[in-house]
Chain A
Amino acid sequence: MGKRGFRLGVSLYLGVIMLLVLVLVLVSVAFLTLAERKILGAMQLRVGPGTVGFFGILQPFADGLKLLLKETVLPRSSNGILFISAPILSFSLSLLPWSVITFNLFHSIADIGLGVLFILVVSSLNVYGIVLAGWSSNSKFAFIGAVRAAAQMISYELSVGLILIIIGVCAGSLNLSDIVLAQKHLFNIVTFFPLFLIFFISILAETNRTPFDLPEAEAELVAGYNVEYSSMIFALFFLAEYSNIIVMSAFAVILFIGGWLPVFGLSFIPGALWFGVKTSFVLFCFVWVRATFPRYRYDQLMYLGWKVFLPITTTFLIFVYAVFAVVL
């Protein structure tokens, strides 16, 4: 096999891997929505969806098909092109972080040195999709929802960024594999348990989940930034939200729970499976929180982000650096 054949083989292999990742992300989003409804049902002593397919397994596909066949309504006063491109941007940006997530040792689409920075950047770009949607719909509810969502997401991004720096300082690198391998002996969740809690709460706020789902507070804003959206363009926002949740859970697993590394020395179970199990656990926590906590008030949300999390993480950064500088 010549050099050219080798290159062709590598690119074909990468292409197949990328398509596989895309398909698997879509499937996991579908089943996450089902799992959420099932878990919520169980926590409220209901059964949840159970008619379509065996045990309700086909429910998400029925929902998806329904949304696909609905009519796409473009409101008269909206800005057409922006209105359509907002969900496209949202959904594509929510898929992007998957290109650097490491599923197992040497198993990622692109193992770049600045993986953490990449995910941080892409997740902050998510604000654009929402603001674009809220502005271009030219509806009051959508506009207020978008402004709220933007302020909320940028407020919690700061503490996320500082936590990433703390983890990076400890691992001495911003590469996701390096960060996982640095936890070989002790997971970060043990050493930085308070940071893990802050990170988890911040990603709840970043992905606009309960108890921080103020942008779509249905009691006052009907649905927030996506009131005017219908059919597949609404479904894209929905998919984007859930894909973001999954990718952020995977990110939390990599940063704090040791990625693909086995727990309790059970190393006969393959690493990728461990990664999946841990991510599923974090996802379960997302649903658990939704079933448990009432919604925050907006001033409480801002208070928590700016006056609690930001000072704590800043102090923690200086503290961690000082401890390391003394020990080393």
Chain B
Amino acid sequence: MFEYLPIYIFTSFSFLLSSILITVSLIASSDSVESEKLSTYECGFNPFEDARKTYDIKFYVVAMVFIIFDVEVALLLPWVFVAFSLTNVATLGVFLFLFILVLGFIYEWEKEVLDWA
């Protein structure tokens, strides 16, 4: 716990610093509000619809695939400490896990989830 205390303090320092920078700029700068300036930028047009519409499903699929692999990384991190002191059965377990993951990866590859062209 004491180890991590400086990190909490540093976090609050950095949030404080960025808030101060924005506040100073808001105070120091001049303000001249007009309607055209406040409209959303769209290459000279007035925006004719909301920007939050649809986007390519691929981005969503990539995020899903990422989560699986990120869990893999998270599960392998503790393994780092014991990699060479595990019993044979435990090591087999780790590699079984990796093997299943690789199978899944090959399946994704074959399903062309990773193709963007």
Residues of A that sit less than 8 Å from B by CB:
14-15, 18-19, 21-22, 67-78, 84, 87-88, 91-92, 95-96, 98-100, 109-113, 117-118, 120, 124, 135, 137-144, 147-148, 150-151, 154-155, 157-158, 161-162, 165, 168-169, 172-174, 222, 227-228, 231-233, 235-236, 298-299, 302-303, 306-307, 310-311, 314, 317-318, 321, 324-325, 328
Tell me the residues in window 18-46 of chain B with beta carbons closer than 8 Å to chain A beta carbons: 18-19, 21-22, 24-26, 28-32, 35, 37-43
In the complex, which residues of chain B have a beta carbon less than 8 angstroms from the beta carbon of A73? 37-38
Instruction: Please judge, given known A-B contacts A84-B22, A139-B40, whether A109 and B4 are in contact too, CB under 8 Å.
Output: no
Residues of B that sit less than 8 Å from A by CB:
3-7, 9-11, 13-15, 17-19, 21-22, 24-26, 28-32, 35, 37-43, 47, 50-52, 55, 58-59, 62-63, 66, 69-70, 73, 76-77, 79-81, 83-84, 91, 95, 98, 102, 105, 109, 114-117
Tell whether, in the assembled complex, residue B73 and residue A161 are in contact, meaning their CB atoms are under 8 Å apart: yes
Tell whether, in the assembled complex, residue B114 and residue A110 are in contact, meaning their CB atoms are under 8 Å apart: no
Rounded to whole Å, the gap between the CB of A222 and the closest CB of chain B is: 7
Tell whether, in the assembled complex, residue B83 and residue A91 are in contact, meaning their CB atoms are under 8 Å apart: no
Instruction: Please judge, given known A-B contacts A109-B6, A231-B25, A318-B98, whether A92 and B62 are in contact too, CB under 8 Å.
Output: no
Task: Choose one: A72, A96, A98, A151; the contact of B25 (CB below 8 Å).
Answer: A72
**A-B residue pairs in contact (CB < 8 Å), sample of 8:** A73-B37, A77-B40, A78-B40, A88-B19, A143-B52, A173-B81, A314-B105, A317-B76
The closest CB in chain B to the CB of A299 belongs to B116
The closest CB in chain B to the CB of A88 belongs to B18
Tell whether, in the assembled complex, residue B40 and residue A137 are in contact, meaning their CB atoms are under 8 Å apart: yes
In the complex, which residues of chain B have a beta carbon less than 8 angstroms from the beta carbon of A314? 98, 102, 105
Interface centre among A21, A91, A144, A307 (most CB of B within 10 A): A91
In the complex, which residues of chain B have a beta carbon less than 8 angstroms from the beta carbon of A328? 84
Beyond A76-B38, A139-B47, list 5 extra A-B contacts (CB 8 Å).
A71-B31, A91-B18, A139-B51, A151-B58, A168-B80
Q: Give the CA-CA distance A193 to B109 in the complex, in Å.
A: 27
Q: Give the CA-CA distance A161 to B76 in the complex, in Å.
A: 10
Q: Give the CA-CA distance A214 to B47 in the complex, in Å.
A: 23
Interface centre among B10, B40, B84, B98 (most CB of A within 10 A): B10
Where chain A touches its partner, the secondary structure class is helix
Rounded to whole Å, the gap between the CB of B34 and the closest CB of chain A is: 10
Q: Give the CA-CA distance A210 to B62 in the complex, in Å.
A: 22
Q: Give the CA-CA distance A158 to B114 in the complex, in Å.
A: 14
Q: Give the CA-CA distance A120 to B76 in the complex, in Å.
A: 14
Tell whether, in the assembled complex, residue B17 and residue A95 are in contact, meaning their CB atoms are under 8 Å apart: yes
Instruction: Please judge, given known A-B contacts A84-B22, A324-B84, whether A14 and B109 are in contact too, CB under 8 Å.
Output: no
Rounded to whole Å, the gap between the CB of A78 and the closest CB of chain B is: 8
Rounded to whole Å, the gap between the CB of B32 and the closest CB of chain A is: 7
Tell whether, in the assembled complex, residue B39 and residue A174 are in contact, meaning their CB atoms are under 8 Å apart: no
Tell whether, in the assembled complex, residue B38 and residue A158 are in contact, meaning their CB atoms are under 8 Å apart: no
Instruction: Please judge, given known A-B contacts A70-B29, A73-B38, A88-B15, whether A147 and B55 are in contact too, CB under 8 Å.
Output: yes
Task: Choose one: B22, B62, B76, B80; the contact of A154 (CB below 8 Å).
Answer: B62
Rounded to whole Å, the gap between the CB of B59 and the closest CB of chain A is: 5
Rounded to whole Å, the gap between the CB of B31 and the closest CB of chain A is: 6
The closest CB in chain A to the CB of B95 belongs to A318
Tell whether, in the assembled complex, residue A143 and residue B4 are in contact, meaning their CB atoms are under 8 Å apart: no
Instruction: Please judge, given known A-B contacts A100-B7, A138-B40, A140-B42, whether A19 and B13 are in contact too, CB under 8 Å.
Output: yes
In the complex, which residues of chain A have a beta carbon less than 8 angstroms from the beta carbon of B15? 88, 92
Instruction: Please judge, given known A-B contacts A68-B24, A142-B51, A318-B98, whether A110 and B62 are in contact too, CB under 8 Å.
Output: no
Tell whether, in the assembled complex, residue B4 and residue A110 are in contact, meaning their CB atoms are under 8 Å apart: yes
Q: Give the CA-CA distance A106 to B7 in the complex, in Å.
A: 16
In the complex, which residues of chain A have a beta carbon less than 8 angstroms from the beta carbon of B59? 147-148, 150-151
